[in-house]
Structure 1
Amino acid sequence: MKREIFNSGIFTRRALLVAGAEVAVFGALGARLYKMQVVDGAKYTAMARGNSVSVRLLAASRGRIFDRYGAELATNRQNWRALLMVEQTNDPATVLDTFSKLVPLSDSERARILRELRTHQRYVPVMLQDFLSWDQMAQIEVNAPDLPGVLIDVGATRIYPQSELLSHVVGYVGPPKDADVKADPTLTMPGMRVGRTATEGFYDLDLRGHAGAQQLEVNAVGRVIRELDRQEGTPGVDLGLSIDIALQQAVADRLVGQSASAVVMDARNGEVLAMVSQPSFDPSLFDSGVSNTQWQSWMADPRKPLINKAAAGLYPPGSTFKTVTAMAAMTSGAVGPYETISCPGHFDLGNARFYCWRKGGHGPLDLKGGIKNSCDVYFYNAALRTGIGPLAAMAQRFGIGADLGVDMDNVQNGLMPTKAWHERVHHKRWALGDTVISGIGQGFILTTPLALATLASRIATGRTVGPHVARSRAGVVQTGAVAEDWPKMELSEHYFSLIRQGMWAVVNAPGGTAPAARLRLAGVQMAGKTGSAQVVRVGRYAREHGFNSLNLPWQLRPHALFIGFAPYAAPRYAVSVVVEHGNAGADIAGPIARDIMTDALHLDPAGRDHPLPPTPSALVTPSVRAS
């Protein structure tokens, strides 16, 4: 029977079926293994590696800022910070609670962290706390098993070695805002900073650099085992400024205790050698965080320490503007260069009376005498004859109310009014009285000390010299040109000469308005122009009854101004000084300008290896008609 069954072939068929099934199963398994190991092997290898490899972006080192001789004005210092790698934790909220027990977080910090956890990509680390102390860093490391995804990183703090001395020129950095991140997603990286003001703001993209990447092997709780690969980012460009830190300090010393500003420019090429605004502030506070107490203190200070008065402070130019009125009047033909205008102490226009600063008047004066004596009546007449149109156009050419193209953030252009502007803003027609007071730099005209230094430079050279603060990028000098590289203003050199001679007489001739501004250097002279800009209107009664602005409260007194250039024979430096509510430019701003110019000539940053040229006798004593 058994032989029959065996001979029937049934066993053979069953064995074949079982064997076939086994072959099919093992064949499918082999094919699957082949696909996984050979065809998709690289893919699964990468996926497996992803469980232990963390890829992180590396913030680039921010470019440094130097003065013209290599002194550091802004640099970077390492500090510890705690980051949360969201992709390495399943419960960020619990981790945050545990972390806050070790390093206390304020309500605003916690709100910021929760916001970034919602908005950032999971591979982008979130800053938990910056500027950690050694003890805080050690506690985090010891408690690492309870803080999955938290790691200690080395960041960079922006340091300003000169602190308050250059805060308004260099500026400061701060955390990126939502608009910044939208424009550049790499700003979500912890520790990234954005330039906010002045040079830091204007050159932010150059200084910022480009991010790099880092591959790290980490364990199950996110602790770094080793670094697998690293591609450094491109550091930001180092920037060299035209500022001379020694001259900057000298100017700051001259303004101590004042609410004031001053600018020193190379009159030949527009390099800003010193720009001081007092009082000042510590820019590093904006990187580490400004306390509410400090902020309220700044806001309550009537001297406005956060405002760069030199580049963003707006003031009526006062009598410094008479140089512009003089050029406009002569160029338009409204007043001849040697024509005399009589000053009885006042100027009447209809029922309105406009006074000269000198009670009783100056008598007959020509243009040089008008500048020398700063006669208001002379320039009332000159402005009225010229008209506001030509006057405004000339002011723009000299930089008043114009965009000077300064390479700094938060720079104001000022205002030079026109009839169209007045009708658009004030909804009424321009009055002749507005033209009259514009001639002496009052009324609606507003300008900055930086623009006034530009005005002095253009008068000194006759060229469209423009101010700038960057001198080199990545070690390559960008500027340093002489005056011949700037276009001529295409105005009469004879008229320029008359204005310069009038400014020389202001400082050096008997009877000039600023004898206190005279340089005490042998063979070197400065030409200048004083200004006192009213901030409140003085009525007719007060004028006629011995008004004295010193009796006013500080905030109502006139601003004191002075512009000048030196050496007179071969102008190298231009200076402007504005002392808020300093009253008289001749008494306050003039002596400060004299001392600043003396410092500039002694330090000579624009030509340190070149001696001062001798002053030709023909320029020492230009003829000035006696008034």
Structure 2
Amino acid sequence: MRRSPADTAESAKKLTRRTLFLGGSQLVFMGALGLRMRYMQVDQAEEFRLLADENRLKIHLLPPARGLIYDRSGTVIAENEQTFRIVIRKEDASQLDMVLAELETLIGLTQDDQDRVRKELKNAGPSAPVTILDRLTWEAFSTVAANAPALPGVSPEVGLSRDYPLKDDFAHLIGYVGPVSSYDLSRMDHIDPLMRIPKFPIGKSGVEKMMEDTLRGNAGTVRVEQNVHGRIIRELERKEGIAGNNLQLTLDHQLQNFVQARLAGESASAVIMDVETGDILAAGSTPAFDPNLFVRGISIINYNALLENIYRPLPSKSVQGAYPPGSTFKMVTALAALEAGVVTPDETVRCMGHTEVGGRRFHCWKRAGHGNINLTGSLRHSCDVYYYEMAQRAGIENIAAMGRRLGLGEEYDLPLPGMSSGLMPDKQWKRDNRGADWVIGDSLNASIGQGFVLTTPMQLAVMTSRLATGREIVPRLIKSIDGVEQPIKSGGPLNINENMLRSVRQGMYEVSNSNRGTAYSSRIVTDGMRLAGKTGTSQTRNAVVNNKNVPWEERDHALFVAFAPHDAPKYAVSVVIEHGGGGSTAAAPVARDLMLFALHGAVPPLASYPQSQRGTIKTLLDALPLRTDGDNATKRSNA
């Protein structure tokens, strides 16, 4: 069938429209494709050049800023300072020898450092940064940064390093940080990825160690692009880490500095507490050390000097040192006897200078004896025979129970490592640990703080706080975490009869304020600030020999405990001077000065001292090596 001319014309029109539509579509598509190709090849040429096959994307960890540590007034005692360093990663160290040689030329990289870098890279993970040099000067850092294209794999970085601006004042309490070690990792149940970074700093001692998880923070990440030579082409994405929590401690940096200065030259320790809250205001230990030496890498010579010092500067004596308390323990024995009902405050005991028990003679420190003496007098004169009698009447079980109520033989919940719990022995302890029965001689020795009894300066301060208040005072070191106040745990009554406590406090008052008291020469003459205390001398040997005739390490320890003001207690202090001799001559004067500083909030005014001593005291106070660096200066009283 033949198509009509009209149909043929209509079909031709339709074909023409389709041809035009398809042709137009193809033209638009080709135009768009051409524009896209031009955009990719011209406008984005650099972008695609950077994303070439030989370039790689890497994700690196960003160490967070470590939390800061402040004292109770807000003075920073552990901070972070900006440092310049250069690092390299194992996976980018294909030209290591050339890089190290170039750094030797540029900034004088030593052969020892080169050997160390090779060793650390060998043990490091592929992407873990190994520090080539830390704490570079700005000039050296700039030199490396300017020559980065010729140093494949080397990354100049600006980081943070721990710094302790008050140096040795807080060395034993704050501690220090140091590079994480394989030993550290072996003791961790969960290993933070940050710990895989060689030389990542973690707490090694003190609060830095015990509060590590709180202070460390969480890692951030940075996504970078590197070329085949390990050079970072650009940073694609950065997610900052979360800084660690800041800590505020109960310590007072000015009082702490005064404690350290006053104890200088001795192997000694002292603790000062707020008797209401249990806040530890100062806890000194001498000699000390600069913790910055450990952060920056202490030399073998300096470290050996610390280890070999017979005054033992590394341990924190205030919580790690355990000493026989000597006569500072007599308040425990007195209260045990009073509570057991085996003596009254006015009852007297005849002191003839010794007591014989089981065929053995136990001497009083005063060989001529004290005559008839009651509770108050026994504390005033520190009569040993009185307490030998109390030990026989009350028994060791009552004495040990009272010691524990007053905080002895206890390890407190404080963020300090290696704390000693001391020793408050009883019959069961001796059977378990010595395989022998308790004998009466053990009780007599314990009654005057000798024998098996051991206490720490921290425990003695707690004991004194509890005697002063009649409450179960608990020491506190962390005041707040990131601004959140931490609970005060002190509070509950000791359930010791107040009249009994009053009798003991009166005896302690007369120790320092009666002209026949063992610490009368270390009294405070300012009304409203008078202290109540107790001297102590603990033997370190069995033979009775004058301290002047034996080597230093064989001399007696000197101790003193006190609270003040005696009629409205605010602070308690304990002082232990290793091998210092007598507590009345060595420890009591120090404790008085520390108490006066706490009461005045500054170096004590001379008016608080007896008139006859003021010239000597002025010379002593003026010579103290107190801190005077700007805002961290220790105040001097204007009184």
* Shorter-chain TM-score range: 0.7 to 0.9
1:487 to 492, 497, 500: 492
1:386 Cα offset (Å): 2.1
Find the partner of 1:117 among 114, 121, 126. Answer: 121
Q: Which residue of 578, 590, 594 maps to 2:592?
A: 594
Identity of aligned residues (%): 41
Match of 1:343 in 2: 351
Matches within 5 A, 1:219-230: 219-230=227-238
Equivalent-residue separation in structure 2 for 1:45 and 1:457 (angstroms): 74
> Displacement of 1:114 after TM fit?
5.0
Segment drifting more, 224-233 vs 126-135: 126-135
Contact 2:179 2:198 in 1 (8 A): no
Match of 1:235 among 243, 251, 267: 243
* Cα shift at 1:598: 0.9
- Counterpart pick for 1:506 among 506, 511, 514: 511
Deviations 1:477-510 (A, max 9, x none): 22568xxx51111222221111111111111123
With over 3 angstroms needed to count, the CA separation of the structure-2 counterparts of 1:519 and 1:94, relative to structure 1, is same
Residue of structure 1 equivalent to 2:86: 82
Q: In structure 2, which of residues 526, 534, 537 is the aligned counterpart of residue 532 of structure 1? A: 537
Q: 1:471 aligns with which of 474, 479, 483?
A: 479
1:418 equivalenced with 2:426 (yes/no) = yes
For the residues of structure 2 that align with 1:267 and 1:603, how far apart are their CA atoms?
A: 16
Paired with 2:93 and 2:582, the residues of 1 have a C-alpha distance of 68
- Consecutive unaligned residues of structure 2, counting only runs of 5 or more, are 1-47, 604-639
Quote the residue 1:568 is aligned against: 566
Which residue of the partner structure matches residue 521 of structure 1? 526
- Aligned position for 1:70: 74
Which residue type is aligned with residue 59 of structure 1?
Answer: P
Deviation of 1:436 after TM superposition, in Å, equals 0.8
Q: How far apart are residue 255 of structure 1 and its match?
A: 1.7
User: Which residue number corresponds to residue 381 of structure 1?
Assistant: 389
Check conservation: 1:155, 1:191, Cα contact below 8 A: no
* 1:336-355 per-position Cα deviation (integer Å, ceiling 9, x unaligned): 33332111100111221111
1: CA distance, partners of 2:528 / 2:148: 74
- Counterpart residue number, 1:201: 209
Amino acid at match of 1:283: P
Alpha carbons of 1:538 and 1:137: their partners in 2 closer, same or farther (altered >3 Å)? same
Cα distance per residue 1:61-117 (max 9 Å; x no partner): 00011111111100011112221122234465775676567654566x667655643
Q: Is the 8 A contact 1:86 1:92 kept in 2?
A: no
Q: Give SS of 1:131's match.
A: coil
TM-score (norm 2): 0.81
Alignment of 1:155-304 (within 5 A): 155-181=159-185, 183=188, 184=191, 185-190=193-198, 192-304=200-312
Query: Retained in 2: the 8 A contact 1:347–1:353?
Result: yes
**Cα deviation digits, residues 286-338 of structure 1 (max 9, x gap):** 11111011011112211111121112112111100001111112222333333
Q: Deviations over 1:496-548 (max 9, x none)?
A: 11111111111112311110221121232111000011111125xxxxxxx53
> Which amino acid letter does the alignment assign opposite residue 423 of structure 1?
R
Give the Cα–Cα distance (whole angstroms) in 2 for the partners of residues 110 and 380 of structure 1.
Answer: 69
- Contact 2:522–2:588 (CA under 8 A) maintained in structure 1: yes
Shift of 1:195: 1.1
Matched, 1:552 2:556: no
Shift of residue 395, structure 1, vs aligned partner: 1.4
2:450 aligns to what SS in structure 1? Answer: coil
The letter of the residue matching 1:159 is D
CA contact (8 A) 1:401 1:416 kept: yes
Read off the aligned partner of 1:84 and give its amino acid letter: I
Q: In structure 2, what is the equivalent of residue 332 of structure 1? A: 340
Show CA shifts across 1:408-464 (max 9, x none): 223221122233332333333333212111110011211111111111001001111
CA distance in 2, matches of 1:123, 1:49: 20
Query: Normalising by structure 1, what TM-score?
Result: 0.83
* Structure 2 contact 82–159 (Cα < 8 Å) conserved: yes
Q: Secondary structure at the match of 2:135?
A: strand
> 2:549 and 2:93 mapped to 1: Cα distance?
70
Letter in structure 1 aligned against 2:71: D
Question: Equivalent residue of 1:535, what SS?
Answer: coil
8 Å CA contact 1:407, 1:468 repeated in 2: no
Match of 1:371, as an amino acid? L
Q: Distance in 2 between matches of 1:284 and 1:417?
A: 40
Provide the secondary structure at the position in 2 that maps to 1:516.
helix
Displacement of 1:177: 1.9
The 1:110–1:444 alpha-carbon spacing in structure 2 relative to 1, beyond 3 Å, is: farther
* CA–CA separation in structure 2 for the residues paired with 1:401 and 1:178: 34
Secondary structure (helix, strand or coil) at the match of 2:134 reads strand
CA distance in 2, matches of 1:432, 1:507: 32
Q: Which amino acid aligns with 2:89?
A: M
Q: 1:592 to 1:465 in 2, by over 3 A?
A: same
Q: What is the CA–CA distance in structure 1 between the aligned matches of 2:182 and 2:527, rounded to whole Å?
A: 59
What secondary structure sits across from 2:365 in the alignment? coil
| Whole-angstrom CA distance in 2 between matches of 1:49 and 1:156 | 35
Q: Distance in 1 between matches of 2:409 and 2:118?
A: 47
Q: Give the aligned residue type for 1:584.
A: G
Q: Supply the AA of the counterpart residue of 1:228.
A: L
Q: Secondary structure at the match of 1:591?
A: helix
Greater mean deviation of Cα atoms: 403-412 or 49-58: 49-58
Partner of 2:327: 319
**8 Å contact from structure 2 (residues 55, 225) kept in 1:** no
The amino acid that maps onto 1:575 is: V
Deviates more, 1:112-121 or 1:159-168: 112-121
Relative distance call for 1:336 and 1:132 in structure 2 (3 A) is same
Distance in 2 between residues matched to 1:191 and 1:155, nearest whole Å = 13
CA apart distance, 1:388? 2.1
User: 1:405, CA displacement in angstroms?
Assistant: 1.6
Bigger CA drift: 221-230 or 149-158?
A: 221-230
Mapped partners of 2:226, 2:98: distance in 1: 21
Letter in 2 for 1:168: H
Contact 1:66 1:74 (8 Å CA) reproduced: yes
The alignment yields a C-alpha RMSD, in angstroms, of 2.6
Q: Is the 8 A contact 2:180 2:198 kept in 1?
A: no
Candidates 451, 454, 462, aligned match of 2:470: 462
1:103/1:136 contact within 8 Å kept: no
- Aligned amino acid, residue 573 of structure 1: Y
**C-alpha separation in 1, matches of 2:338 and 2:584:** 26
Tell me how far apart the structure 2 counterparts of residues 341 and 82 of structure 1 sit (CA, whole Å). Answer: 76
CA–CA separation in structure 2 for the residues paired with 1:192 and 1:106: 23
1:306 to 309, 314, 324: 314
Instruction: Report the alpha carbon displacement of residue 48 of structure 1 after superposing the two structures with TM.
Output: 6.5
